[in-house]
Amino acid sequence: MRNPTGKFRMEIIGKNGIPKTEYDYKGETFVESCKGEKYSIRLHNDSPYVILFVPSVDGLSVINGEEASKNSGGYLIRPWGSLNVPGWRLNDKEEEVTHFCFDSIPQVYASQMGTPNNIGVIGAIIYYEEKQKLTPFKFERADSPTDRMIIRYDYYEGLKGRGIQVVPEHQRNTSNDRIMAADPFPGDKDCRPPERWTE
């Protein structure tokens, strides 16, 4: 999903590294969850400034597993950059995580932590720096968030029950999805034209 200004994007990446299909319903964005499917959150910064993305899953901070808030920790993303968050951080080493996984309510991390009230929502709060600089040395979070993005998830039956027209995942043309997700220059993820070139 893209925020209203178009400067930030958040995607839920499913199996085979393919973004989950998003469904707009009554002003909200939904994706289909498939039991047992591991997923990641891909965050994009399409602005010329460093930003802080503060992601949450099921109402919990992905950084420390505590209740998420605007003051939770997050990830710095450089201008025109992106970041893949594969799971819950286990410690201060970013590479040590346990994968996010769509599962039955008793099995998801939030239930195991005793906080099942917000299962079914993935969110991110975005902050610019207090004083925007093109080359920051130390990030100082602004007093209030720049934006907030929310993606809700549910099983096929739940989406259908809401009236969302969903093509079951097993019936989708995954070959076409794979082709559309293919990147001809995968080693150049951060190579984007200056903002003025895209106006």
Q: Is residue 3 part of a domain?
A: no
**Residue (of 148, 162, 173, 123) closest to 32 by Cα position:** 162
Per-residue pLDDT at 46 = 92
What token pair was written down for 130? Answer: 């207090």
Closest CA to 108 of 130, 88, 81: 88
pLDDT reading at 113 higher than 80: no
What is the domain count for the chain? 1
Residue 46: which of 77, 80, 83, 78 has the closest Cα? Answer: 80
Please tell me the least confidently modeled range out of 55-69, 92-106, 146-160.
92-106
Q: What is the 3-state secondary structure (H, E, C) of the chain?
A: CECCCCCEEEEEECHHHCECCEEEECCEEEEECCCCCEEEEEEEECCCCCEEEEEEECCEECCCCCECCCCCCCEEECCCCEEEECEEECCCCCCCEEEEECCCHHHCHHHHCCCHHHCCEEEEEEEEECCCCCCCCCCCECCCCCEEEEEEEECHHHHHHCCCCCCCHHHCCHHHHHHHHCCCCCCCCCCCCCHHHHC
Q: What is the pTM of this model?
A: 0.72
Residue 1 in any domain: the answer is no
Tell me whether residue 140 is in a domain.
yes
Residue 2 lies in a domain: no
Can you give the pLDDT at residue 178?
43
Q: Which of 21-30, 112-121, 159-168, 170-179 has the lowest mean pLDDT?
A: 170-179
Q: Is the pLDDT of residue 108 over 50?
A: yes
Position 167 in a domain: yes
Q: What is the pLDDT of residue 87?
A: 85
In this predicted model, what pLDDT tens digit does every residue of 124-166 receive, in sequence order?
Answer: 888 887 766 555 556 777 777 777 878 888 888 888 888 888 8
What pLDDT does 193 receive?
A: 41
Residue 79 in any domain: the answer is: yes
9 pLDDT more than 60: yes
Q: 64 vs 92, which has greater pLDDT?
A: 64
Residue 92 lies in a domain: yes
Q: Which domain holds residue 147?
A: 8-198
The pLDDT of residue 44 is above 90: yes
> Is the pLDDT assigned to residue 182 strictly greater than 50?
no
Is 88 within a domain? yes
pLDDT beyond 80 at 96: no
Q: Report the mean per-residue pLDDT for the chain.
A: 77
